[in-house]
């Protein structure tokens, strides 16, 4: 089915291509500005990376080794100016960032893979310099390995994060995006549209739908601009540079291959969307076999060294944070006691890993008899049968309680839960036994890991999210756990606490 836009575009271009015909398609190149933005963006990252590396090594040279006065020496070798050695390290560092594909077009600006590759590339520089110094018996400054390289990695990640914020601001204005049409049957197309809209920073601007289903003018608010046999004219009509194949019984392998050839001839992009969703990149491994692009999906297990690393981080970080926040703990305890009668701390039974109950500690932010009023308030607003027991405009919250809740200060005592092992710094939010009793089979997977003080859904909308969105984000965290993702969530938590917004209650 072709719309009036497609007919008009066909009259202008006369480039219609039918997948069933054997004629070679006329090649029409995609718009240069749309096609080249990933390369131009990656080029800017090169300049930033070089500036960061020069800055780090220069500061190190002038403060750590007194660069103008010192030389690098080793047994039986010539004296080399330290600036030359640091220049060599900088060049190798830049090369490693390229070899580890930290600016690869499919990973920059989205996800944690970019950050992970920066760390891996820096570790490779570290290992290479240590090995060279060992075999040549070079007396290199220890601070190069202990300070300069780690600091450089942090600053490189920070610069990439800053570039992402710039990219997000442009993409919100529909710049630096892929203009995409979605190809497939209506149900699968609707799922792709909903998933892309729900996520932030995908880089896709959905401008059209291509389907053979008759009688459909739009799907998810996106207009239908063509049929499978008019993909190229549909791309022209929608001014698209990307085709997302969502799948259809009528979209057989031979037809999809011909569509891929035609899209490639115009230097556009073909993206094939699998049926499986909510799977992070590190779990996906492509393995071509017998001409089939097979996708292997790994299921992470938080056991062994991963569990040990997460627990060690929780112990160390919670200990440090308890010391840092001790003045706030003392001040909040005094404010809670003065504000209203009752205990300073409030301990509530929550369900932890494996369904085991534990007592979660918080500063009391409600009246002393708040639990006795919960059932009647939920019944009044008609949400008794919903897993998230949230009361809108809760009258039980005290004056001090409203402030400490908005800024998450009431959660600080949970650091003791983390230190003792009942909770983790990052994980699904622990819920009451009555809420867990309402779980379906999917939601029970939240209990495979320890609950956390902060989690993916808390930094993605907090109280503004529905139960369906909250459980989807928690399951995504469980299914795609990584230490890098934990660090990213903690940084986002800091931002959410500093600027809580209207969704914090």
pLDDT for 455-504, tens place per residue?
Answer: 887 777 655 667 777 777 888 888 778 787 888 888 888 877 776 655 55
Determine which of 200-209, 279-288, 435-444 has the lowest per-residue pLDDT on average: 279-288
Query: Which pLDDT band, with edges at 50, 70 and 90, does 6 fall under?
Result: very low
**Exposure string (b/e) for 326-335, b if CB count within 10 Å is 16 or more?**
eeebeebeeb
> Is a pLDDT exceeding 90 seen at residue 143?
no
Give the pLDDT confidence score for residue 50 in this predicted structure: 94
Q: Per CATH, is 4-29+174-297 categorized as 2.60.40.10?
A: no
Q: Measuring CA to CA, which residue among 120, 83, 279 is closest to residue 195?
A: 279
Give the pLDDT confidence score for residue 487 in this predicted structure: 86
Place of tokens 């600080």: 412
Distance CA 462, CA 15 (A): 49
Distance CA 438, CA 421 (A): 26
Start-end of H helices in 366-406: 370-381, 399-406
Query: Which pLDDT band, with edges at 50, 70 and 90, does 314 fall under?
Result: very high
Give the pLDDT confidence score for residue 8 in this predicted structure: 42
> Is a pLDDT exceeding 90 seen at residue 380?
no
Structure tokens at 104: 């690869």
Give the pLDDT confidence score for residue 331 in this predicted structure: 93
Specify the 3-state DSSP secondary structure of 484.
helix
Beta strand spans in 372-501 (E): 424-426, 452-454
Distance CA 485, CA 242 (A): 29
Instruction: Tell me what the mean pLDDT of segment 85-91 comes to.
Output: 87
Give the pLDDT confidence score for residue 26 in this predicted structure: 39
Contact between 439 and 387 under an 8 Å Cβ cutoff? The reply is yes
Specify the 3-state DSSP secondary structure of 312.
helix
Contact between 296 and 285 under an 8 Å Cβ cutoff? The reply is yes
Structure tokens at 218: 């739009």
Contact between 136 and 74 under an 8 Å Cβ cutoff? The reply is yes
Higher pLDDT, 155 or 305: 155
Start-end of H helices in 100-223: 113-136, 142-143, 149-172, 186-198
> Is a pLDDT exceeding 70 seen at residue 119?
yes
Distance CA 337, CA 333 (A): 6
Query: Which pLDDT band, with edges at 50, 70 and 90, does 17 fall under?
Result: very low
Q: Measuring CA to CA, which residue among 481, 459, 479, 480 is closest to residue 470?
A: 459
Q: Which residues contact 395 (CB under 8 A, 6 or more apart)?
A: 377
Give the pLDDT confidence score for residue 397 in this predicted structure: 79
Give the pLDDT confidence score for residue 315 in this predicted structure: 94
Give the pLDDT confidence score for residue 113 in this predicted structure: 83
Higher pLDDT, 415 or 194: 415
Q: Which residues contact 139 (CB under 8 A, 6 or more apart)?
A: 72, 73, 74
Determine which of 225-239, 366-380, 430-444 has the lowest per-residue pLDDT on average: 366-380
Place of tokens 């056991």: 303
Query: Which pLDDT band, with edges at 50, 70 and 90, does 63 fall under?
Result: confident
> Is a pLDDT exceeding 60 seen at residue 298?
yes
HSE (CB half, 13 Å, CA atoms) of 456?
20
Contact between 439 and 475 under an 8 Å Cβ cutoff? The reply is no
Q: Measuring CA to CA, which residue among 157, 177, 176 is closest to residue 48?
A: 157
> Is a pLDDT exceeding 90 seen at residue 51?
yes
Higher pLDDT, 27 or 467: 467
Over residues 218-273, the pLDDT tens digits come to 888 889 888 888 888 888 888 888 888 887 777 788 888 888 888 888 888 888 87
Give the pLDDT confidence score for residue 489 in this predicted structure: 87
Structure tokens at 16: 């219609």
Contact between 111 and 280 under an 8 Å Cβ cutoff? The reply is yes
> Is a pLDDT exceeding 60 seen at residue 15?
no
Pair type for strands 218-219 and 222-226: antiparallel
Give the pLDDT confidence score for residue 317 in this predicted structure: 92
Higher pLDDT, 363 or 393: 363
Specify the 3-state DSSP secondary structure of 420.
helix
Distance CA 394, CA 47 (A): 52
Q: Measuring CA to CA, which residue among 87, 149, 91, 75 is closest to residue 118?
A: 149
Structure tokens at 440: 């379906």
Question: Which part of the chain is CATH 3.40.50.720?
Answer: 4-29+174-297
What Rg, from alpha-carbon coordinates, does the chain have?
Answer: 28
Inter-helix orientation angle 82-99/32-64, to 10°: 150
Query: Which pLDDT band, with edges at 50, 70 and 90, does 417 fall under?
Result: very high
**Distances, alpha carbon 162 to alpha carbons 39, 119, 165, 167, in Å:** 18, 17, 5, 9
> Is a pLDDT exceeding 50 seen at residue 61?
yes
Higher pLDDT, 62 or 4: 62
Give the pLDDT confidence score for residue 10 in this predicted structure: 37
Q: Measuring CA to CA, which residue among 227, 271, 214, 273 is closest to residue 247?
A: 273
Which range of 108-112, 228-232, 304-308, 357-361 scores highest in mean pLDDT? It is: 357-361
Q: Which residues contact 126 (CB under 8 A, 6 or more apart)?
A: 145, 149
Give the pLDDT confidence score for residue 319 in this predicted structure: 94
Q: pTM, whole model, 2 decimals?
A: 0.64
Give the pLDDT confidence score for residue 5 in this predicted structure: 44
Residue 298, judged by CB atoms within 10 A of its CB (0-12, 13-18, 19+), counts as exposed
Which range of 58-67, 361-370, 448-457 scores highest in mean pLDDT? It is: 448-457
> Is a pLDDT exceeding 80 seen at residue 313?
yes
DSSP 430: P
Contact between 216 and 199 under an 8 Å Cβ cutoff? The reply is no
Pair type for strands 424-426 and 452-454: parallel
């Amino acid at each position: 089915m072709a719309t009036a836009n497609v007919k008009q575009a066909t009259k202008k271009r006369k480039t219609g291509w039918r997948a069933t015909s054997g004629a070679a398609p006329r090649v029409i190149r995609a718009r240069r500005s749309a096609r080249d933005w990933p390369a131009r963006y990656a080029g800017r990252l090169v300049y930033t990376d070089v500036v960061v590396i020069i800055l780090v090594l220069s500061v190190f040279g002038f403060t750590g080794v007194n660069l103008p006065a010192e030389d690098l020496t080793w047994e039986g070798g010539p004296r080399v100016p330290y600036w030359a050695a640091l220049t060599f390290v900088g060049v190798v560092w830049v090369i490693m960032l390229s070899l580890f594909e930290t600016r690869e077009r499919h990973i920059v600006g989205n996800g944690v893979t970019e950050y992970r590759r920066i760390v891996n590339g820096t570790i490779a520089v570290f290992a290479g310099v240590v090995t060279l110094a060992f075999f040549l018996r070079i007396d290199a400054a220890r601070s190069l390995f202990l300070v300069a390289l780690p600091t450089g990695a942090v600053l490189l990640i920070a610069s990439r994060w800053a570039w992402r914020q710039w990219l997000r601001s442009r993409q919100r204005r529909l710049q630096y995006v892929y203009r995409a049409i979605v190809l497939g049957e209506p149900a699968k197309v609707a799922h792709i549209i909903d998933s892309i809209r729900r996520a932030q920073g995908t880089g896709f601007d959905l401008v059209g739908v291509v389907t053979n289903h008759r009688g459909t003018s739009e799907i998810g608010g996106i207009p239908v601009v063509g049929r499978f046999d008019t993909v190229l004219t549909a791309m022209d009509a929608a001014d698209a540079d990307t085709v997302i194949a969502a799948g259809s019984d009528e979209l057989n392998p031979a037809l999809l291959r011909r569509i891929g050839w035609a899209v490639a001839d115009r230097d556009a992009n073909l993206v094939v969307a699998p049926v499986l969703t909510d799977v992070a990149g590190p779990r996906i491994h492509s393995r071509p076999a017998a001409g089939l692009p097979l996708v292997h999906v790994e299921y992470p297990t938080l056991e062994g060294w991963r569990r040990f690393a997460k627990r060690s981080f929780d112990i160390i970080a919670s200990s440090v944070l308890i010391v840092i926040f001790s003045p706030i703990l003392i001040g909040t305890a005094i404010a809670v006691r003065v504000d209203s009668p009752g205990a300073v701390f409030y301990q509530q039974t929550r369900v932890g890993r494996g369904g085991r109950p534990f007592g979660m500690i918080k500063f009391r932010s409600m009246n002393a008899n708040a639990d006795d009023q919960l059932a009647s308030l939920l019944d009044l607003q008609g949400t008794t049968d919903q897993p998230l027991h949230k009361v809108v405009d809760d009258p039980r919250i005290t004056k001090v309680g409203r402030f400490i809740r908005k800024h998450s200060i009431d959660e600080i005592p949970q650091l003791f839960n983390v230190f003792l092992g009942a909770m983790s710094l990052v994980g699904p939010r622990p819920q009451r036994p009555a809420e867990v009793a309402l779980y379906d089979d999917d939601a029970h997977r939240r209990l495979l890991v320890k609950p956390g003080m902060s989690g993916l859904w808390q930094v993605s909308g907090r109280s503004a999210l529905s139960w369906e969105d909250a459980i989807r984000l928690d399951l995504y965290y469980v299914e795609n756990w990584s230490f890098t993702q934990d660090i990213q969530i903690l940084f986002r938590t800091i931002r959410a606490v500093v600027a809580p917004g209207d969704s914090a209650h």
